[in-house]
Amino acid sequence: MSLVIPISPQVESKIRERAAAEGKEPTAYAAKLLEQAVSRLSLDEILAPLRQEFAACGTSDEQLLQQITEARDAYRKTP
């Protein structure tokens, strides 16, 4: 797939510099950056299993806050 993406001269310059540093053509380097960006999980995707586990355990937000506060206080008391 080919895309035409308008970018600022400053971004173009950085892409050219970084591509040269990696010994790549600017278009190949830009394609790599785009692929990396869209392949990363979003924060919601990363947190989804944790949110599901939390919802399933039945702990309220207040109970969780109390547990975190107690753990923090206990940690601060350790030498």
- For the stretch 4-49, pLDDT in tens is 999 999 999 999 999 999 999 999 999 999 999 999 999 999 999 9
Q: Which two tokens stand for residue 59?
A: 């702990």
Q: 30, exposed or middle or buried, with CB in 10 Å at 0-12, 13-18, 19+?
A: buried
* pTM metric for this prediction: 0.57
pLDDT band for position 79 (cuts 50, 70, 90): confident
Helix (H) or strand (E) holding 24: none
Cβ(19)–Cβ(25) below 8 Å = yes
